[in-house]
A and B are shown apart, each in its own frame.
Chain A
Amino acid sequence: MKNYILKRVLNLILMLFAVSIIIFLLVRLIPGDPARTLAGEHASLEILETMRKKWGLDKPILEQYLIWLKYAFRGDFGQSILTHESVLKEILQRFPNTFELSVFAMIFASLIGISAGVISAIKRYTIFDYTTMFIALFGVSMPIFWLAIMLVLLFSIKLNLLPTGGRISVYYSIKHITGFYLIDSLITLNFGSFFNVLKHLILPSIALGTIPMAFIARITRSSMLNVINQDYIRTARAKGLPEKTVILKHALKNALIPIITSAGTEFAMLMGGAVLTETIFSWPGLGTYIVQAVNARDYPVIQGAVIFVALIVAIVNLIVDLVYAYIDPRIKY
């Protein structure tokens, strides 16, 4: 096990290096003076000069990369052209927002997806099964930005129940301690803000969770079907255990392994892929950050944020694999 972990971590580090090289090269592929690209069109000659010196832009490309790497190790991904703030600082400010949204989306997706999948498997070939699977297919075929628009149309505009977007209403203030709004509002006992934040989370979570929900429902169903036909389930039934116990204790427990893996992968993807949902709900997360950066050609931000997302995705995947290895005794290292 120890060796396995070590091997995986090593792999992760190697992969991050590779990602950093590719992103680094991509940004330098952009036609024009890299100093201008990195400093922005409005930069004065002095800024360009300091930029060239700091990042070694007059040196050969390999050396440039090493310089860049040196700074990156210190957490210095440069300054945003748009805001003149440290890229890492901005990423860390926004990451908790994306994380909180992804967690909620995953809770929504798992709760509904697993229940629907289990019931579908038990009631195989019934109307419920067909309907669920058809809805699941809808879920993966739907443009989520359109789903988000429809949710806003219904719940915010027609029914006026939920906010149309944003992280928190402007008249609530939150003391930033961890950066996670829910936690911050709870530990400061600011319940007004807490509920307000929660309200803002509902629609984006549904929009973002729909695709994973559909996937999870489909996987749960097929995984459950696989398990239900196994001998030990038949034995359990033969022993006269109540059906509920059989399904929940025996079948679901064993069917969970592939579900966890796919849910984990989905979760990892949500963290960087919430671009569309965040855009529609004006969510101040990493997704909107990257889109803004692309629109403004803010290359230091693109460079830093993409590497950060790759890191997060890799870490989540690693954790999923470790959990998988831990719960499934059949895996050998």
Chain B
Amino acid sequence: MKRILLLTVVAVLLVSLFYGCTPKASQPVTLVFAKAGDAVELDPADVTDGESVTVMNNIFEGLVRYKPGTTEIEPWLATSWDVSSDGLSWTFHLRQGVKFHDGTPFNADAVVFSYERQRDPEHPFHKYGKWEYWGYCFSEIAKTEKVDDYTVKITLSRPFAPFISTMAMFTVNVVSPTNCEKWGDQWFAHPVGTGPFKFVEWVKGDHITLEKNQDYWGEKAKIDKLIFKVVPDASQRYLALQKGEVQGIEFPNPDDLSKIEQDPNLAILSQPGVNVGYLAMNVGEDTPGFQKPFGDVRVRQAINYAINKKAIVDQLYKGTAVVAKNPIPPTLWGYNDAIQDYEYNPTKAKELLKEAGYPDGFKTQLWAMPVSRPYMFDPQKIATAIQADLKAVGIDAEIVSYDWGTYLQKTENGEHPMALLGWTADYADPDNFLYVLLDSDSATVGSAGNIAFYRNPEVHKLNMESQKETDQAKRIELYKQVQQIVHDDAPWVTLAHAKQILVFSKKVQGFVLYPTGDYHFESVTISQ
């Protein structure tokens, strides 16, 4: 009797080894995509992180969008728009016959609701969100009004050259007002938009399931089901892809790329991203993390000389990035290629430190994010490499890390002396880098985008001029000057511009990479 039981157990175990290696074919066409992290929220206006955005790209749409694979603007939920001659008043003509997933018609009311809830503190739905991006990128919007059911007028408080580019951002995607009313403060977990995919379920920390929107107004999606599976470990993601458990992954380990290239079943999609990974040195004397040495430009330059960026890019990024010499990437217009980067020169670094009065270096902290980011796949590793480079010139840096949310908060407060961070463009304009990350306007303690707290009045003047300027050629000149000043002042060590890399099973066709790092799955097909 017992022996039979034992045999059964063994048999079951053995069968389980070989059973069910392939999924059944009769299932709906499903694509499982492994992500590095879970979404934080699914309200397009209330998120700041890429993991949430890449999911929402498929659920929500805005008035305009980027042409697939480019940074060119094209009409989308708005079919056309007019601008007043002073550049202050924008009238959008909306597409008719579009419905939200819950059946609510898309019209001017929905657009006004989506925007005004973010802008107007008196709006009944304002209290349900933090609306951080509205503050960063849309503070120039004075008002959004309904003209008629399918016409909306947006009034700006000042001319803002990148305005139409910003309108392609997720923050101004349009949400269903009836759905927001239904869920109140829990709406962020029950998204309803107009996009090609509908939200089905969200098991936090595990997966988000979307399904094809059968009533989509445009060309319908070609797959039935889209699952975003959370697999934080890069190696696990790669193994899941190898075994066919998922059909696509993001952020592969650079070390695995050579093996992936040799795999006949896998295809690597890659293109230069519009991003930058950097080391910010806190120069803000009013911040709690400020250390005296960083107030001296010679120290900051010394650190620039001390770090072997090329080795980091070659050996740790493994060619998945290019060395950065400017805050903006070479793929973006306005890039100043005339700038001579600080070369790797520890001797010079030591000399500069000596001149600045720190011949024996000093003790400090090096903050590093806890999570993989598109612009920096493994910040802890990069931090360890930088730590060793700094040690070689006498600077003792202790690596400090917090969970991602706390990290952002604390760096915005300026509690760090040195911190790694990066940026992926929301809209393709140098303004999105040089104003958001390096202008004195963005260096407010507590909500800083400029976490070096670098406040150069000259940079601010040039940024402001460029925001008002409509002539592209003039704007390029202004931004080139900004880059030169930033290079000389060295508030950052610009580390790398990472390539955007996704790996798909060869069965998956038609995925288009966006320079902004968005994921759109409506064009994707799977061959069996």
Contacts and interface: CB of A to CB of B under 8 A. Distances in A.
A282 B235 CA distance: 12
B369 to A, nearest CB: 13
Contacts of A164: 235-236, 239
A170 B227 contact: yes
B240 A170 contact: yes
Contacts of B20: 172, 192, 195-196
Contact of A192 (B24, B205, B409): B24
Contact of A41 (B229, B236, B409): B409
A46 interface: yes
A42 interface: yes
Say which size band chain B's interface belongs to: 35 or more
Interface residues of A, number: 32
A295 interface: yes
A297 interface: yes
Nearest to A296: B403
A165 B236 contact: yes
Contacts of B105: none
Interface in B197-244: 204-207, 227, 229, 231-233, 235-236, 239-240, 243
B410 interface: yes
Contacts of A284: 205-206
B13 interface: yes
B405 A42 contact: yes
Given A170-B32, A199-B16, A83 B239 contact: no
A154 interface: no
Interface stretch (A3-11, A124-132, A155-163, A268-276): A155-163
Contacts of B15: 195
Nearest to A192: B20
A295 B19 CA distance: 37
Given A171-B30, A198-B13, A297 B406 contact: yes
Interface in A275-305: 282, 284, 295-297
Interface string A159-183: 0011111100111100000000000
A170 B245 contact: yes
B55 interface: no
A44 interface: yes
A295 B30 CA distance: 34
B165 to A, nearest CB: 28
Contacts of B403: 82, 295-297
Contact of B231 (A40, A161, A282): A282
Contacts of B16: 195-196, 198-199, 202
Contact of B127 (A40, A46, A296, A297): A46
A85 interface: yes
B130 interface: yes
A115 B433 CA distance: 67
A199 B16 CA distance: 6
Interface in B1-60: 12-13, 15-17, 19-20, 23-24, 27, 30, 32
7 contacts: A41-B405, A41-B410, A82-B405, A156-B239, A192-B24, A282-B231, A295-B370
Given A172-B23, A196-B20, 18 more contacts: A41-B406, A41-B410, A42-B409, A82-B403, A161-B17, A163-B243, A165-B236, A166-B231, A170-B229, A171-B23, A171-B30, A171-B32, A192-B24, A195-B16, A195-B19, A195-B20, A198-B13, A198-B16
